[in-house]
Chain A
Amino acid sequence: MEKNTILKIENLHVNINDREILKGLNLEIKPGEIHALMGTNGAGKSTLVKTLSAHYDCIVTEGKITYKNKDLLELDVSQRANEGIFMSFQSPIEVAGVNNSYFLKTAMNAKRTYTGLPEIDAMEFLKLVKEETGKFNIDRKLLQRDLNDGFSGGEKKRNELIQLLMLQPDLIMLDEIDSGLDVDAIKTVANVINSMLDGKKSILMITHYDRLLELIKPDFVHILNDGKIAKTGDYSLALELDEKGYEAIGIKDANK
């Protein structure tokens, strides 16, 4: 693995419920790069990000994933998160009875302990939250409620952004974070993501929506088809796809 590679996926095969979804996928992401993952439904986009975050559904049958020079497959879910991998859930899970603020402070302190930093207390936590959310006009009242419990679709996505801002991960994976959001909310997502780009943080985002790509310009666009990356290009590939559709660029839609 090259020194300046944050993530390297080699010949990745993944099964869900004994059905092979990823069939020999290769991908390399360097620090600071933005990669967009596109593809028809069922192509394996979500499976890839779920595999990277150690989702229990995904069984790796073959291949290798190296993250920050470590064998990622040896790390469990929380270790991966503490190493800087953040997956924004397509449908964030509701957890009634767990206060959102308590959850976030626990998560921050878990990461701080993992990296050898002292834990932050409630006052420091509130100060940090106020600072970070204030920059983007994100409503802090979400933190007073239970984690995602009874949140609207937009509130859930905003809550993911708060977590993102507070946890400051190195590899940000966004699984259709734009789905169900209005134009203003998409702008907020883009503002948050763009503000975090410091040349070191990398992004892997799944989207069907050209609008998000206009706001967060990818360095690479990958088209996933039948469990493999079928085509890679720059932002112009996304534009071409938007204009012509999958079949015109030589991708067979298995759903048709």
Chain B
Amino acid sequence: MQINNIQGLILPKKSDEEFLKVNFDSLFAHDFSNIEVYEFDIMGLETIIDEENYESILFDITRSVDNKQKIITINKNIAEPIFLIHKLKENETFYTNSLKIKVAKDIKASVVEVFVNSCTNSFYGVNRKIELEENSSLEYVKIQDINASNSMIFSLCVEQKDSSNLEISNFEYGNGFIINSFENIINAQNTNYELNALVKLFGDSTTSNLVKTIHNEKSSISNINYKHSLKDSSKAVFKAKSIVNETALYSKAFQHCNTILLSDDATIFAQPHLEIYIDELEASHGTTTGTLNKEQLLYLQSRGISKEESYEMLLSAFENKIVDNIKDELIKEFIKTYKRDKYV
């Protein structure tokens, strides 16, 4: 079964501005032996047919082979985070998983998803919808650790009601071929949306993050903050578009992307983009690309710390800025002590 051959499925084209730097050819042409829905180990989840109209056509890839969506509804405050661990084991398999996370009015919750694999040449199509009711709050943390020869397309759509708060922390550790798509069309007031990510790549991995945010209502905040540390011949794509429409007075829209290139062959394509139609707002965007600060390296070494250890200390300092944004201490500890070996 090839994705290219799915009847009626419109696939991203190289010529599309959004996908300009992402090469899907080998994924779409790969002939998978099996198709499998990845089931959660949770009893009694409601299932619906996903008929949503998404901005990104990437949702359709997963939906074309499995249009059912599970729903987790969180309607009471939970002290501990909900952990969802995905372990892909079968080779040559097209896995799918679609989930809606609903957080009820005035409720505060946190969800952690971990994606790991022990298979080869498999693909994981993951669709996520997050719905936040009025004055609710969700801390959503994702660790992607899908490794070489495997691929994943993770598509997330957000719907926020007034005064809701969504904080996403996205950790990209795997060395597979990964596409993440985040879309949030803000049709509510006084919402807060934070998307923080650490993209830590090595080997031949390619990870692309496509982020689209549209402000249609007053006084909402979006803050997109990506950090990349890229080794070997890894490649990262960061394309963020934030649109602030005329109706979205007093919005705040920020985009930042910092990259440290740790080898001559590592590549970043970073394109932050703001489209603003009003004057009454706060907005900024920026991207930096460089290597570790040599003055800082020298300072650490000048106190006896070896070059290698100084290098690791500075890299951790850069990366930990994303971990430090996590509010839930349990999750923070989970991220700091995360090891792939525990799951595969």
Contacts and interface: CB of A to CB of B under 8 A. Distances in A.
A81 interface: yes
Interface stretch (B24-32, B49-57, B164-172, B295-303): B295-303
Contacts of B316: 97-98
Given A95-B296, A95-B314, A98-B317, A114 B304 contact: yes
Given A93-B296, A98-B313, 13 more contacts: A76-B307, A77-B302, A78-B301, A78-B306, A81-B301, A81-B304, A89-B299, A97-B314, A97-B316, A98-B300, A106-B305, A163-B303, A167-B304
A92 B299 contact: yes
Nearest to A88: B302
B318 interface: yes
B317 A107 contact: no
A158 B302 CA distance: 17
27 contacts: A53-B302, A76-B307, A77-B302, A77-B307, A78-B301, A78-B304, A78-B305, A78-B306, A81-B302, A82-B304, A93-B296, A93-B298, A95-B296, A95-B300, A95-B317, A97-B316, A98-B313, A103-B313, A106-B305, A106-B309, A107-B305, A110-B303, A110-B306, A111-B304, A146-B317, A163-B303, A167-B304
Contacts of B314: 95, 97-98
Q: Most chain-A CB neighbours within 10 Å: which of B300, B314, B316?
A: B300
Interface of B: 294-296, 298-307, 309-310, 313-314, 316-318, 320-321
A97 B302 contact: no
A55 interface: yes
A190 interface: no
Interface string A160-189: 000100010000000000000000000000
B303 A167 contact: yes
A104 B313 CA distance: 12
A95 B295 CA distance: 9
A95 B302 contact: no
A93 B313 contact: no
A167 B304 CA distance: 9
A22 to B, nearest CB: 19
A87 interface: yes
Contacts of B304: 78, 81-82, 107, 110-111, 114, 167
A97 B309 contact: no
A92 B303 CA distance: 12
A55 B299 contact: no
Contact of B298 (A77, A104, A111, A146): A77
Contacts of B320: 97
Interface string A10-41: 00000000000000000000000000000000
Q: Which 10 pairs across A and B sit closest by C-beta, in order of nearness?
A: A97-B317, A81-B304, A107-B303, A77-B301, A93-B299, A110-B304, A82-B304, A78-B301, A111-B304, A98-B317
Contacts of A107: 300, 303-305
Q: Most chain-A CB neighbours within 10 Å: which of B298, B303, B305?
A: B303
A78 B302 CA distance: 5
Contact of B303 (A81, A96, A97): A81
Contact of A103 (B294, B303, B318): B303
A78 B301 CA distance: 5
Contact of B294 (A56, A87, A98): A56
Contacts of A106: 305, 309, 313
Given A78-B307, A106-B309, A110-B306, A97 B301 contact: no
A54 B271 CA distance: 39
Q: Most chain-B CB neighbours within 10 Å: which of A53, A55, A92, A98?
A: A98
Interface in A51-108: 53, 55-56, 76-78, 81-82, 86-87, 89, 92-93, 95-98, 103-104, 106-107
A227 to B, nearest CB: 23
Contacts of A55: 298
A146 B324 CA distance: 13
Interface in A106-140: 106-107, 110-111, 114
A167 B248 CA distance: 57
Contacts of B305: 78, 103, 106-107, 110
A78 B304 CA distance: 4
Contacts of B299: 89, 92-93, 95
Contacts of A87: 302
Nearest to A55: B298
A92 B295 CA distance: 10
B328 to A, nearest CB: 20
Nearest to B296: A95
A55 B305 CA distance: 15
B244 to A, nearest CB: 30
Q: Most chain-A CB neighbours within 10 Å: which of B309, B313, B314?
A: B313
